[in-house]
Structure 1
């Protein structure tokens, strides 16, 4: 069997539910509301069966929960950038794609609204 040369893999978590104090409107201040977060991290490909040699999904969950626990944020963009920074703190991560959806933002007119950012090492 022929093996190709792989240089990177993408570790991802989709549909991560986080409760956060977020928003700029008066009715959002001091109120917790749901966010749905998708995270995709580009990491080196490893031909190993050891969890320690890749990014653990639970680390991504913990990072998102930690950002939410920091206190009130005005914008989902801020949440996304803070989460990307936490993910990029792992030196194996070369790029982070973070998508944050705020399901209640335009309810009942839309399922959600949000932002997607892509940040890489420069």
Structure 2
């Protein structure tokens, strides 16, 4: 597997995975969001980057070229937007957990990696990345 730098590092997966799964992804989605625990973060929005990689069960695929047959990157984007539409959330960790849980509601997804970056805090970007498997390791 090629090693990458910057935002693309989310795409790296272990080369020792027992099952190779197809993946869908959204990289560097930037939204104005209401989040943060500090007083200066309340009542404002800040730019937040979202990158998501979802591993798809090996038995899922398009047989008749119909979008309904496969999970879509639109599903990933919609999960982010629906969580952020709930209003102010204090912790990026909470946001990541909610996004992962929403994506894993689709039984065709076997694991998800969610990276959230607060783009207006810190030296460049600060945030969190979580990986949540359904039980299968991809």
TM-score bucket of the superposed structures, by smaller chain: 0.7 to 0.9
Is the counterpart of residue 55 in structure 1 residue 34 in structure 2?
no
Match of 2:53 in 1: 40
Q: Secondary structure at the match of 1:22?
A: coil
| Pairs within 5 Å for 1:1-122 | 8-45=21-58, 46=61, 48=63, 49-106=65-122, 110-122=123-135
Runs of 4+ in 1 over 6 A off after TM superposition: none
**Higher relative strand content:** 1
SS at structure 1 position matched to 2:95: helix
Equivalent residues, number? 114
TM-superposed deviation, 1:30: 1.2
Structure 2 stretches lacking a partner, 5+ long:
1-18
Q: Secondary structure at the match of 2:28?
A: strand
| Structure 1 unaligned regions, length at least 5 | 1-5
How big is the shift at 1:47?
5.0
- Deviations along 1:41-67, one digit per CA (max 9) or x if unpaired, are 010242533221111111211111111
TM-score w.r.t. the length of structure 2 is: 0.77
CA RMSD of aligned residues (A): 1.5
